[in-house]
Structures are given as C-alpha cells and as structure tokens.
Structure 1
Amino acid sequence: MARERSGRTVAHLVLATRLKTLRESAGLSFRQAAEALGAHPATVRRIEQAQTSLDAGQVSTLLSVYGAGPAETEEFLGKLAAANRPGWWHPWRAVMDVWQLDLMSVESAASIIRTWHPSLVPALLRTPAYARAVDDVLRPDLSPADKDRRTEFLMQRQDRLRAQQTRIWALMSAAALHTRVGDAQTMAGQKESLRSAAERPEVTLQIHPLDGPAHAMTGKPPLTVYRVEVPEISDHVVREGCLPGTADVWDAHETVTAYLMLLDYSCTAASHPHESKEELA
C-alpha cells in the first residue's frame, strides 16, 4: 500500500537522519534520549523518521545530550531554520494536488525524473496552452482562475528543473500526438515544443508507436519516479489515480524497484529516442 505522507522535506529527512547517527554514535537508546526531552521514546523515533516537525528547542537539547560541539550545533540549527522556511512552491499551495504538497521538495532535489503517460503528453513536457486545455477537460471542478494558476505552477516546475539540469526521461504513447487537446494551434505548438525538448541534452523522449505491440506499461496509469542523489532519501514513485488530483506515493525499495523494472521493459520496447524524434516530424 502507499505510505501515508507526513509533510517532511528532503532537508528535514537529512537532518533527522543526522540526529539518528549522532544518537547511535553516542551510544544512547531511544529511552535515554527521550528522558532528556521529558518525552516518550516514540517521540524520538518520530523525530528521527521526520514524522513530526523538528522543533529547534528539542533539537538543541538532543544535540547537547549527543555531545555535539558549539560549531556543529550552530550549523545544524542553521540548516533547520533554512529547512523550515516555505518552499518556492508555497504561493501555489492552494491549487496544488495533495500529493504534490509533500513531493515538491523531492522533485526540486531530483537528479533524474522518469515519467510515463498512456494517452497524453507527460506533464513536465507540456506547453502552457496544452496544460491549460488538459485541465479544462480533466478538472471541471476548478475555476478558470485556479486552472490558470495551475498552469503557471507547472511552468515554474519546468523552468526550475531545466535550470538545475534535472534529467527528464519521458515515455509516452503516440496516441497523445493524435488525441486533440485544445485547438489545432495548441496541438501544433505542443508538437513543436516536444521536438525542441527532444534536442535538449537532459531530455530523453521515447514514444510507443500506434502500431507497436503491447508492452509492460500498457494499460498502466500515469507514473513518475524521482531519484535524489542523497543517501538519506529513497527513490519515490507516484502513480496517479482515476479521480482528479489523486495519486498513490511509495518510497519502499521493493515497490519502487518493481515499477522501475516495468519502465525499463517498456523503454526497451519503445522507439529509440532518435526514432521517436521522427514520430514528431
């Protein structure tokens, strides 16, 4: 089953793991650390798993008990203060999908993002007009203003990923090229944008042709896998649901590996990136 999200960010996870390492290096148990806080051992366990907010006062007490020096304590608390500041995506929280609220810190730190869509252009490669037209169809529950804000947010995501040179490996069906989203101008602009994206060194685009055989991702819903090159952070997989704005999120190694294998099998069966560019001609 999907793991319940807890609001933790990449920075919080790194700091929480550091606290665990310091406690273990000091040879202290959960109970001993909890006694210093006047709390239950479960509280320390939750702190080390970033399942609760990292309070500066509690963290300072734990660092002192663990034997951290003044310089290390100051550095740690400085990083905690930075982690507690709102993320760049904060202005768009009202129109973000629930799963995005927790995953944006992971996406913003990802070194590679693999994504699959069975019938549409993957979100991270959509143009503003195409993205807005998709919401017009799939999100009738939203106001026009909210749809505009969501499009703005998606463009911000794309710009930031490009600036940090995150690798995007996108897999899609050629059906997306033949499914009209918006008007003819919207579709023409989207195809031109895909042609440009396919030329970028950090983008790998593969397309399953319409007359191709069934493959490992046939019938699977939209899927995204995030990899962060930080030892404390697991890979995350997001499988979008049927209801608008819903998704299952996993970071268990076995589950993520299973989905990565499906993507690998499907990519092997898809057109080579060079051939996929010809699909866009």
Structure 2
Amino acid sequence: MTGGSTLPKRALGRELRRLRERRGTSQAAAARAIEVSPQTIGRMEDGHASRPTTLQVNGLCDLYQASDEERRFLLDLLRELRVAKQTGGTWWRAFADEIPADFNHFLALEAAASRITSWQVTLLPGLLQTPDYRRALTWSAHPNRSSADIERRIDLATQRQDRLSDNTFHMEVLLSEAVLRHGIGGYGVMADQLLHLLELSELPNISIRVVPFMSRSQLGLIVRSFAYLQFPVPSNTRISEPPVVYVEGYTGSLYLERDPEIAQYAQAIHGIRRVSLDEDESRKLVSGLVKEYQG
C-alpha cells in the first residue's frame, strides 16, 4: 500500500456519509453545495477521494448541520490524514502535539467493525470489562484525575458495550490464562468480572476462549496483545474495506493495514486459536476461578 495510511480517510468518509444520511441529503445536493461532482462525494464517502480539503469538509458540515463536536471530529480526521500522508506506510499514532489527545481513532474503527478478534495477554478487552474493573485500571493509569473525569471515562466504556447486543456484530476473544489471574481491583472485583464473562460467553455473537498456561505453543506471548478488526461491505459500493490490526501501546497506538502485515496476524490468530480451550472448557476454567476469588 502506497501513499501512507488510508485509515483516517476511510473514517472521514464513514462519518461524512453518516451525517449526510442523517440529514436526508442526496449526494447530488452535497456536491452542489461544495461545487464538486456527485462522483467526488461518493469517492469521499468511500474513502477514495485523493485530497479532501478543509473548505470542503467545513462546507459539508454546514450543509449537514453538524454539531461543534462532530465538526471538530472531522477536522481532526483531516489532520490525521495529512500526518499519515507525510509519514507513509504503517501509521504509528502517538499522542503528539499535532494530533489532539482527546481524539481516539480506535473508537471510530470499533464502532464501524462488523467483527473483532481480540487476543489479550494481560488485560481484558474494553468491551468486556465491568465498571469496577475498568475503574481500577483507570485509577492506576491516571491517579491524579478527578473522580468526575474517571466516571466520565467509565460511562464512555459502558456506552461502547452496547455493540455486544447487536447480533450483526461478532466478537471472538482469545485470552491468556494470565488475564484471568491478574487481581485487578481485588478478589471481589475479579469475581464479579469473571461472572460477567460467563454471562457474555452465552451470547450467540460472542466467543470467549482461554489459552492455558501450559499450552503447547507460546506464539501468543511472542505476538503480544492485538485486535483484528473486520468491516462490513457497504451496500452502495460492494467494495469491502480491508481489515485493520490495532496494537495499543503505552505512549501511542500502532495501526496496521498492509496486506503482508494483515496476513501475518491472521496466521497468528489461527495458531493461537489452535491451542486454546474450546468454549465449554473455557467456561469451566473461568467458573473455577470465580470460586477461588469468592474464597
């Protein structure tokens, strides 16, 4: 893949389409408003427009009556697109001065994905965390934050979990046994968290499997934690968006989208899945740990 990452461009297109459809505006009307062709609007929404400008994005925001927050989100995406073009290739998104720290591209990807495969070696993925588990982690990472700020973060995480009740969304969770044994928040918090995992594992669109300590392959420890995101095929274009691999870091996040990288992580998923317990065996292991935490 050349010309830098396409991720910000794809996210920009998805958001512009959402705002246009919410307003009930046709592509032709949008095109007239910013003096381009309807085909250009289509390419922009599909993430194929070569150089969307600030003037064009602001004009569409005016037409769609976007809120200040929505406008800022789109302009942040536009800035990310320019940074990605300058860097080229793999996109390492650190929270640098040129990128607003309050903008989280992963949330936009997560909201758009139709399937997420998550491999975790230390902590549970955010979509599966209970508020108390998340609260304990957030306080550890941000001990100087106010209680109100911490609770806002908890509310955001809880809202994200609405995805799990959408049957068109599927999530496969592969967990190292270590994830279940880290005492996040203490015995009571962990017991409740694992009970929550057992409830989620009964949902038809959620699969939770554990890789035990004594598995015959340690590939997952070498690969480390990541999320593999796949996207639905848009009904208007039938052009499938390629998958994205997300690797979270302490000071920044790595987004991978080139074919060789995606293929390597897909192969890693196959290898990790092969040494994991099946869903029933995983439930038995989690149930046993619940009893340990409950004393």
TM value normalised by structure 2: 0.65
Please say if 1:213 is aligned against 2:219.
Answer: no
Cα distance in 1 for residues equivalent to 2:182 and 2:101: 28
User: Residues 280, 10 of structure 1: CA spacing in aligned structure 2 closer, same or farther, 3 A cutoff?
Assistant: farther
Q: Is the 8 A contact 1:112 1:167 kept in 2?
A: yes
Aligned pairs for 1:56-95 within 5 A: 81=64
Larger-Rg structure? 1
Aligned position for 1:71: none
Match of 1:103, SS state, is helix
Please say if 1:271 is aligned against 2:291.
Answer: no
Q: Is the 8 A contact 2:131 2:154 kept in 1?
A: yes
User: Residues 164, 199 of structure 1: CA spacing in aligned structure 2 closer, same or farther, 3 A cutoff?
Assistant: closer
Deviation at 1:242, TM superposition (A): 3.2
Please say if 1:11 is aligned against 2:26.
Answer: no
Q: Is the 8 A contact 1:170 1:206 kept in 2?
A: yes
Cα distance in 2 for residues equivalent to 1:159 and 1:257: 30
- Which of the residues 233, 239, 243 maps onto 2:241? 233
Q: Is the 8 A contact 1:112 1:168 kept in 2?
A: yes
Deviation at 1:112, TM superposition (A): 0.5
Cα distance in 2 for residues equivalent to 1:216 and 1:51: 42
TM value normalised by structure 1: 0.67
Cα distance in 2 for residues equivalent to 1:168 and 1:54: 38
CA RMSD after TM alignment? 3.8
Please say if 1:135 is aligned against 2:138.
Answer: yes
Q: Which range moved further: 139-148 or 251-260? A: 139-148
- Which of the residues 250, 260, 263 maps onto 1:257? 263
Match of 2:173, SS state, is strand
Cα distance in 1 for residues equivalent to 2:160 and 2:268: 26
Alignment-mate amino acid for residue 266 of structure 1:
I
Deviation at 1:123, TM superposition (A): 1.7
Deviation at 1:14, TM superposition (A): 7.1
Aligned position for 2:172: 169
Deviation at 1:86, TM superposition (A): 5.5
User: Residues 10, 116 of structure 1: CA spacing in aligned structure 2 closer, same or farther, 3 A cutoff?
Assistant: farther
User: Residues 133, 52 of structure 1: CA spacing in aligned structure 2 closer, same or farther, 3 A cutoff?
Assistant: farther
Aligned position for 1:194: 197
Cα distance in 2 for residues equivalent to 1:50 and 1:105: 21
Q: Is the 8 A contact 2:167 2:205 kept in 1?
A: no
Q: Is the 8 A contact 1:126 1:190 kept in 2?
A: yes
Deviation at 1:147, TM superposition (A): 2.2
User: Residues 47, 274 of structure 1: CA spacing in aligned structure 2 closer, same or farther, 3 A cutoff?
Assistant: closer
Q: Is the 8 A contact 1:224 1:238 kept in 2?
A: yes
Unmatched 5+ residue regions in structure 1? 16-35, 38-43, 60-76
Alignment-mate amino acid for residue 125 of structure 1:
L
Q: Identity across aligned pairs (percent)?
A: 23
Deviation at 1:131, TM superposition (A): 0.9
Cα distance in 1 for residues equivalent to 2:128 and 2:144: 24
